[in-house]
Amino acid sequence: MDERAGDPAHDDLEAGREAVAAGDWLAAGHAFVRAATEGSAEGADLAVRVVGGLVPLADAGSADAAALIAGILLEHSDGSALPTAAAYARAAADARHPAGQRTYGHLLANGLGVPADPVTAKALFRAAAEAGDPYAAFNLGQLSDDFDEALALLRTAAEQGVEEAGAVLADRLAAVDRDEEALGWYLWAAGRGHIGAMHAAASWYRDGFGTAPDPVEAVRWFLVMFAHGDGDGVHEAIALVKAGALDAEGIRRAGRLAGTPGAADALLPFLP
């Protein structure tokens, strides 16, 4: 029995290989992109390889294939592929494909493979967002000069699963002292793996922004950061322990909440 079965990236890799065997290049490309998004380097490599099978479809007029090619080349190839990515993104955008509009808008907003054109970029993001593309809503939310519109767009993107949108939304709310709402969105994004939101949540619980100070929750999120491979919060957790902000049981509780009891035990020797 393959112990990797049930792992999303592994399952997507298998689905992609099956699609390649069946000659379904669109399904294969989407599966490999999903695997890459889940952290699979093999998925990223295989997505790039699938481009060769997608090109005839795109050249024959498939906006789906053109948008997928553009996204793969933008995310998983080097700068030399940008002109090709831009050409296919524009073709998909001209066909009013939401992912193509969003990708071409991103290229125009940042001057990648094409001259920068922020006005057209915003128009493309808006069209894609209105068609239901959550990443376009996220991009437009960051560019909008209308504060209320920006909040609405970021909230829409977050509610459709764009974790970074939740973190940016929290930043915007914090900037206008809507701290309780901001903390809620930091926690939302932190719970979905956003490292910056984890650090913000830990720091806010430590310092009492948007809530009463709670050293257990602070250490919890510092430990979650560590579990996700980022040790930047460890020294701050140690400082809380050294200051006597929580006792041994509080440290262990933080570890249980974080799902990292071993890391919590490592903090016990720092108790005063």
Distance CA 54, CA 223 (A): 43
Distance CA 126, CA 193 (A): 27
Classify residue 189 as exposed, middle or buried by CB count within 10 Å of its CB (0-12, 13-18, 19+). buried
The answer to whether the beta carbons of residues 99 and 71 sit under 8 Å apart is yes
pLDDT given for residue 3 in this prediction: 45
Q: Per-residue confidence at 8, pLDDT binned at 50, 70, 90?
A: confident
Is the pLDDT assigned to residue 5 strictly greater than 90?
Answer: no
Distance CA 16, CA 18 (A): 5
Distance CA 247, CA 66 (A): 58
Question: Which residue stretches of the chain are H helix?
Answer: 8-21, 25-37, 41-59, 63-76, 82-94, 98-110, 118-130, 134-143, 147-159, 163-175, 179-190, 195-207, 215-227, 234-242, 248-258, 261-265
> What average pLDDT is seen over the chain?
95
Q: Which residue type does 22 have?
A: A
Is the pLDDT assigned to residue 195 strictly greater than 70?
Answer: yes
Q: Which residue type does 201 have?
A: A
Read off the pLDDT of residues 71-112 as tens digits, 9 standing for 90 and up. 999 999 999 999 999 999 999 999 999 999 999 999 999 999
- Provide the percentage of residues in the chain whose pLDDT is more than 90: 96
Q: Per-residue confidence at 4, pLDDT binned at 50, 70, 90?
A: low
More confident position, 108 or 1: 108
Smallest CA-to-CA distance from 198 within 177, 215, 182, 220 is with: 220
pLDDT given for residue 7 in this prediction: 84
pLDDT given for residue 202 in this prediction: 98
pLDDT given for residue 2 in this prediction: 43
Helices vs strands, H then E, count in the chain: 16, 0
Read off the pLDDT of residues 114-149 as tens digits, 9 standing for 90 and up. 999 999 999 999 999 999 999 999 999 999 999 999
pLDDT given for residue 1 in this prediction: 37
Q: Can you give the residue ranges of every domain in the chain?
A: 194-272
